[in-house]
Structure 1
Amino acid sequence: MMFLAALAAGAIAAPAADNQYGVAPAAGPVERWGTLELSFTGPATGNPFTDVELSAVFRQDGRELLVPGFYDGDGVYKIRFMPDTVGAWRYATRSNAPALHGKRGEFTAVQPAPGNHGPVTVRNTFHFGYADGTPFWQVGTTSYAWTHQSPALQEQTLKTLAGAPFNKIRMAIFPNNDDQVAGQHFPFAGKPPHGWDFGRFDPVFFRNLDQRVAQLRALGIEADLILFHPYDKGRWGFDRMPAAVDDRYLRYVVARLSAYRNVWWSMANEYDFLTEKKTDDWDRYFRIVQAADPYNHLRSIHNAFRFYDHNKPWVTHVSIQHGAATEDPERAVLLRDVYNKPVVFDEVKYEGNWTKRWGQLTPEEMVLRFWNGAVAGTYVGHSEIYTDTSGKGEIWLGKGGVLRGQSAPRLAFFRKILAASPAEGLEPIDKWQDYPFAGKHGEYYLGYFNHAQPTSWPFALFKTGLKDGMRFRVEVIDTWNMTVTPVAGVFEIKKRDDYTFADRDGRSVALPGRPYMALRIVRVPEESDK
């Protein structure tokens, strides 16, 4: 598949070091937005997780970043750092343990390798981009508990992702209530299902999580880490821990994983089903993660029925579950105006043959939602929940493994179309009328006809950015059959009325009378533009 081939050819950067966690040792250089790891020997008695405090100040040219450290078991303490600029860096540790305090060193950050574009941030209000300016067109998927499965199944999931179109995966840190495999480790030390020592973490569990996040990074995939979820249902008790345990857990996760450039933070999946937690708790979690993360990774929260107030300043983007919002672009666009932030419809129901209505989308309907979201200037997420006929219960949504649906190749095609769009992001062309186009006024238009089956489209564009005499070329896109067909000739426009410019000769674009068709319209540069 295309992404696996790109990885083999070096088009997607491998981890920045020679160990399984994707971190560079302190003795050598680390690439910009790579991960440097410092290891120290310290106290192993008592409870190092709660008794010992460790951090380091990283300095470059008068600038300072305070980075938290963490205990990794067996008397080993670590600090991970992601340099965001090249050049020489110095560091000095701070700790209440004398053996860990005042450790000093320096290292050099070098230019990033091909494929390393840095962390994803918000760009142009409603869109995303990598730190080096490269656009990030979100085409995500969800597999909640894939890192809680057997090593073989985890490797199969990574193999599937390497050949899939997804550049983000939503994944939970805590297990679901039905996740139990031989030799399984959990975030906390102790004995399942309820004999946990909430004062101690299990480093073995977190080392595996470190490794999987690093492997996703090597594939160019963002890890949208779900910090809490309601699918425990009392099985393990991780959904009803004391507040102090919640807070300590959040700080530990951030200390371990924030130095990976591909991390996003999701406070919860279906947060409103965690009824023992109140709005003040979720606000506190956001503030803890924001304060502990030196790199200001993206932060959001996902709903079931009740929306969190995404206008709050610690929310970087909107993560929404809504089954109907992307059935047409006119509904999807509304939330942009409410929140004035990027909107990601992470759950729009799922492709599959499940017994519940949220798992019964046809592949066509799954793909349709991505196109409607794009025309609305928003983003959409995928997953699937087909019955596993092998009897193992390996379903992508919950456990990963293999994809069984038909939407993934069409989403690869969709992502290719997005990649050829204006780098600023797709903006709705006319939000005040049923007008299924997004793009850049006067330059680029991407239109989608949804379920409609027109046999022609009268060439007419909304007025903003247009003037008489502009010329445009048109391509007809079959989003299901994955074809792009150029239309012969050039369309030259003139003003038609108060709102539109149309082809001066009144021509139309012929269409095949099938659903799921799209148009791409691009302005032909004038001689003065060349």
Structure 2
Amino acid sequence: MRQIEKYNIFERSIKGPEPSTTNVKVDFTGTFRKEDKEVNIKGFYNGNGEYLVRFMPDEEGIWHYELILNASEEIRESGDFECFRETANNHGPVIVNGMNFQYADGTRYIPFGTTLYAWIHQPMQLIEKTIETLSQSPFNKVRMCVFPKSFMYNNNDPELFPFEKDEAGNWDVNLPNYEFWEHLENQLTALLHLGIEADLILFHPYDRWGFANLSREDNLTYLDYCVRRLGAFRNIWWSLANEYDLVFNKNEEDWESFGKFISSEDPYHHLLSNHNCLKVYDASKQWITHCSIQTNSVQKTKMFRDQYKKPVLIDECKYEGNIEPSWGNISGFEMVHRFWTVMVLGGYCTHGETFHRDDEVLWWAKGGELHGESVNRIAFLKNIISELEGDIQPDKATFDVNPNDPSIKEKLDSVEMNPFAKALFSLEPVELSEFMYGFSSVFSGRHDDKYMIKYLGRECLCFTELELPENGEEYSIEVIDIWEMTRETVLDKGKGKVRVNLPGKEGIAVIATRNK
């Protein structure tokens, strides 16, 4: 009997006649049963008379399967396989756990992503170099496009496209280019072996080939093939778009139909989001699992958490680099600073790199090698966060105060509030919000009473104070330099109100961890 590791892909194929109308919406199904559990999977056509079905088992034991083509009693196959326990780094697909993430087996997952929009559309030598670079990096999530991208530093035509063309020279979504899809699967598998999640971008506006102008019906056919063919990969996330609000030929009804289609058709319910340029997409929709946000104002991370009650990924916070556009020339320190800010506010941040090169091979678009200074510091942060017991819960910030709260009015009329605070809370709500989000730069978070983390950002303080529990366990206090990557324990047994001396420079964090 064939054996398949839990959360791996069980694949079977049968031979049959060529589809008569569409090579996508084929009537090929697999039914998988284990005791009282039954899962129905849509298969796909792979050319040359071959039909494939892929299934990701999520329970150990004996599974029975039955494959049927065109509802015909003559073309069918049945059998059994044994699913055994996952091993090594196989923890299953990533799922949402409240405001955070975890693997299906319960293991904590902390996304540290990077952006590689068109890396699969490059020559194989460059693709292999990208995989090598990723294998030595801290990144465990990659944002990447299905369609090729046409943009600055990304002007080459790929060797393969997702579809064939019809006689009139238009893309025919009912005729997948099987060589392209196999190529995409190979790269997804390479990421899987590295323990990297593939945040697969399904649409984007940077197009000169006509993919952005497909009709809604054609787009749904394309999505149908994506789900049928790729859904069994445990490391898949679905991102409806990169910058959905710049894809001008699609409206709200389109995005709603695409999101609901994937949510209903994906039997594994992989993570699903929609990324913005200017207007943040409404992540309160039931089919959206988490926020994927582009913003320069990373200090709003907690605001997005509070608004949508879902995990927040700041998937684009500008890129470390030196190219002319403002989105592509922040310093390495600024990138690391933004990572720390987002993390302490209870979110997750995504890296990108855009250093000018004469060969136009920029990491953010094509991959290759990394040249910036932030990656090692992001790895340093990853190690620190991974050591902490439990996910960060951001503390209430000054700008969380509701200026319409009656207690604020009482304080305004009292002598308790200093002149600055009195003037501040006399502002209109919009004015107050705008001021506070630009003013605040010190953030703190904790996980119950297990630890407290305070990030001082751009402040150059000679000391700070921590409010630790007066009673109970004592705390070990570290001062961390996020750029120099140093950790110094300054107090072994702290409790109550503690003063911590600091070096008076930017990029300092303080962590108090409860002694065991």
Residues in 1 aligned to 2:502 and 2:176: alpha-carbon distance in whole angstroms: 60
The secondary structure found in structure 1 opposite 2:172 is strand
Aligned to 1:166: 139
Output the amino acid matched with 2:240. Answer: M
Between the two proteins, what is the percent identity of the paired residues? 38
CA offsets 1:302-356 (integer angstroms, 9 cap, x no match): 00111221101000000000112x1x4xx32111110000010000111111111
Aligned length: 473
Give the match for residue 214 of structure 1.
189
Distance in 1 (CA, whole Å) between partners of 2:278 and 2:289 is: 20
Q: CA deviation at 1:97?
A: 5.9
Contact 2:2-2:80 within 8 A present in 1 as well: no
Give 1:84-163 correspondences, 5 Å limit. 84-96=58-70, 98=72, 101-123=75-97, 125-163=98-136
Find out whether 1:310 has 2:283 as its counterpart.
yes
Tell me what 2:342 maps to.
373
CA contact (8 A) 1:194 1:236 kept: no
Aligned residue identity for 1:421: L
Is residue 42–residue 99 contact of structure 1 (8 Å, CA) maintained in 2?
A: no
Q: Aligned ranges for residues 26-105 of structure 1 at < 5 Å?
A: 28-44=2-18, 46-47=20-21, 49-50=23-24, 52-96=26-70, 98=72, 101-105=75-79
Deviating beyond 6 angstroms after TM superposition, the runs of 4 or more aligned structure 1 residues are none
Corresponding residue to 2:386 among 397, 419, 430? 419
Deviation per CA, 1:24-65: give whole Å up to 9, x if none: xxx621100111111111112644505731121111111111
Q: 1 CA distance for matches of 2:459 and 2:74?
A: 66
For 1:394-409, list aligned pairs within 5 A.
Answer: 394-409=361-376
Where structure 1 has 5 or more consecutive residues not aligned to the other structure, the ranges are 1-26, 494-501, 526-530
- In structure 1, what is the Cα distance between the partners aligned to 2:507 and 2:374? 13
Paired position in structure 2 for 1:444: 451
**What are the superposed Cα offsets for residues 145-193 of structure 1, whole Å, 9 maximum, x if unpaired?**
1000011111111111001110000000000126676871100013899
Partner of 1:513: 504
Aligned to 2:179: 204
Shift of 1:452: 0.9
Q: In the alignment, does 2:269 pair up with 1:296?
A: yes
* Aligned match for 2:199, one of 224, 233, 243: 224
Change in Cα spacing, 1:137 to 1:52, as seen in structure 2 (3 Å) is closer
Give per-residue Cα distances to partners, 1:195-242, cap 9 Å, x unaligned: 43332010000001011001101001000000000000xx21000112
Q: Which has the higher helix share?
A: 2
CA deviation vs aligned residue, 1:345-399 (integer Å, no higher than 9, x gap): 00011111111111111000001011000110011111011111xx321111111
Separation in 1, partners of 2:272, 2:252: 16
Q: Which runs of 5+ in 2 are unaligned?
A: 400-439
8 Å contact from structure 2 (residues 142, 196) kept in 1: yes
In structure 2, the partner of 1:484 is: 487
Q: Which residue of 1 aligns with 2:317?
A: 348
Counterpart contact for 1:422–1:439, Cα < 8 Å: no
Shift of 1:99: 7.8
Sort the Cα spacing of 1:173 and 1:193 in 2 relative to 1 into closer, same or farther, 3 A: farther
Matched-pair contact (CA < 8 Å) for 1:193–1:236:
no
| Aligned partner letter, 2:103 | Y
Q: State the 1:194 CA deviation.
A: 5.1
Output the amino acid matched with 2:127.
Answer: Q
Structure 1 residue aligned with 2:419:
none
Change (3 A) 1:485 1:51: closer
Residue in structure 2 matched with residue 177 of structure 1 by the alignment = 150
Q: TM-score, normalised by structure 2?
A: 0.88
Q: What is the Cα deviation at residue 468 of structure 1?
A: 3.2
Q: 1:100 to 1:333 in 2, by over 3 A?
A: farther
The code of the aligned residue for 1:430 comes to K
- 1:469, CA displacement in angstroms? 5.3
Distance 1:310 1:230, change over 3 A: same
* Contact 1:54/1:100 (<8 A) preserved: no
- Residue 229 of structure 2: which of 256, 276, 280 is its match? 256
Give the distance between the partners of 2:127 and 2:65, measured in 1 at CA: 36
Counterpart amino acid of residue 513 in structure 1: G
Contact residue 385 and residue 396 of structure 1 kept, 8 A: yes
**Paired amino acid for 2:46:** D
SS at match of 1:29: strand
Query: What is the root-mean-square deviation of aligned Cα atoms in Å?
Result: 2.0
**Structure 2 CA distance, aligned partners of 1:304 and 1:430?**
28
